Amino acid sequence: MSQTNAATAQHKPMSRKRWTATDLGLVAVFAALVAASAIVPGIPVGALGVPITLVTLTVMLSGLVLGAGRGFAAVGLYVLLGLAGLPIFSGGRSGLGILATPSAGYIIAFPLAAAATGYLAAIVIRRTVKFRALWLFAATMVSSIVIIHGLGVVGMMVNARLDFAKAFLADLPFVPGDILKNVLAVIIAMAIHKAFPDVLVRRVK
């Protein structure tokens, strides 16, 4: 009897890691949320015309709420559908041709940033109580600066043939807006975690 109980206990952690219908539903909902945020008209910045959009807000929110795996899946699904031809990128753009534009680095970075934010958010939710919002904001900023802006600069260097200094300067106007969007993403995520405490915590216990 004790051996049976031990075997059952050993299998429980593994079963909790499997995605349920709820997980798949959340992935679909957040992919749709990211797509909806891209429909809101962006503000073109600079000569390259890379727009400031609400997409980074929903990308970060996906990671903060869903964690690394589901956040990556949700934003990755959005990117794959856009590359497949659905007009869900900013300005109604779609298709593989987007990978040849100055925006390519940002688009490629979105799923990676959601995963990184989700990974850091899981650590924050598991290990902190005080200043949790501040730590979550730090997680979003690290992901934004290192991944989204880092790959965004690389994308402009490759597709717009800019040197690093010019690409870096072209990226700078996006930073203030991302700071505000990250603050908003954390506020929304904190409210969601308060209302549904198991949405992320249960996956990292």
The pLDDT profile of the chain, 205 residues, written as one tens digit per residue, is 445 444 444 444 433 468 899 999 999 999 999 999 998 876 766 656 566 789 999 999 999 999 999 999 999 999 999 999 999 998 889 999 999 999 999 999 999 999 999 999 999 999 888 899 999 999 999 999 999 999 999 999 999 999 999 999 999 999 999 999 999 999 999 999 999 988 886 544 4
Nearest to 172 by CA among 201, 158, 152: 152
Helix (H, G, I), strand (E, B) or coil at 102: coil
pTM for this prediction: 0.86
Q: How far apart are CA 96 and CA 82, in angstroms?
A: 8
- For the chain, strand residue ranges (E) read 43-45, 50-52
Q: Dihedral, CA atoms, 17, 20, 25, 27, nearest 10 degrees?
A: 20
